[in-house]
A and B are shown apart, each in its own frame.
Chain A
Amino acid sequence: AQSVAQPEDQVNVAEGNPLTVKCTYSVSGNPYLFWYVQYPNRGLQFLLKYITGDNLVKGSYGFEAEFNKSQTSFHLKKPSALVSDSALYFCAVRDGGTYKYIFGTGTRLKVLA
């Protein structure tokens, strides 16, 4: 069965420092991987995706993620965090054979000024 794990409930980072939000996945076929961000009282906003191609994908707001097939990971990264990046981040996987998303439990990112 498909699954997504976000091992950290919360990540704290100082403004200007690099940030990483972790995600590992398990799928039976080729993975389609996604990151979303949710600001308070707002819906989810799409950040980036990996379908195929380069393992490093770049997305919105300066975020990027690295697909690592051997480690079944898709960690979200940003070189320099902003206080405005503070939000709830969700990793999601879609099995290549279906249209359904499986969401991780979410990681709350707090960027400290």
Chain B
Amino acid sequence: SAVISQKPSRDICQRGTSLTIQCQVDSQVTMMFWYRQQPGQSLTLIATANQGSEATYESGFVIDKFPISRPNLTFSTLTVSNMSPEDSSIYLCSVDGSGQGVGEQFFGPGTRLTVL
């Protein structure tokens, strides 16, 4: 299994500002994923980040709002831009355990974001 850390663990931000969330994995992985979990709800995939290529965004999520970087095989960042209270959520990164996109995913502890 992979060990994943995220920074920050939580933050309170003002409307209109941006926050960058970091995700660090203890091993090299091809596929990393970013999810959003709104209060009391399920997880929604934001985008898939592969090293060396542009992130692939899901319907309803755009690069201008959620830019992602993937500079190497152990690290990724997600930026939540021009935040509004509706962006208040837990943001989780995950990696695929099989390395081939077919196994279980391992999740970081999450970043709890509150936008005022």
Contacts and interface: CB of A to CB of B under 8 A. Distances in A.
B102 A43 contact: no
B102 A32 contact: yes
B101 interface: yes
Interface string A14-39: 00000000000000000010101000
Contacts of B45: 100-101
Nearest to B106: A46
Contacts of B48: 99-100
Contacts, number: 50
Contacts of B75: none
Contacts of A44: 43, 92, 94, 107
B41 interface: yes
B109 A99 contact: no
Contact of B31 (A43, A99, A106): A99
A94 interface: yes
A106 B45 CA distance: 15
Interface string B79-116: 00000000000001010110001111111111010000
Nearest to A48: B104
B82 to A, nearest CB: 26
Interface in B34-64: 41-45, 48
Interface in B10-50: 31, 33, 41-45, 48
Given A41-B112, A44-B107, A104-B42, 17 more contacts: A43-B92, A43-B107, A43-B109, A44-B43, A44-B92, A46-B104, A46-B106, A51-B102, A94-B102, A99-B31, A99-B102, A100-B45, A100-B48, A101-B33, A101-B105, A103-B44, A106-B41
Interface of B: 1, 4, 31, 33, 41-45, 48, 92, 94, 96-97, 101-110, 112
Interface of A: 32, 34, 36, 41-46, 49, 51, 90, 94, 96, 98-101, 103-106
Closest 8 CB pairs of A and B: A99-B101, A43-B107, A44-B107, A43-B109, A103-B43, A46-B104, A103-B42, A105-B42
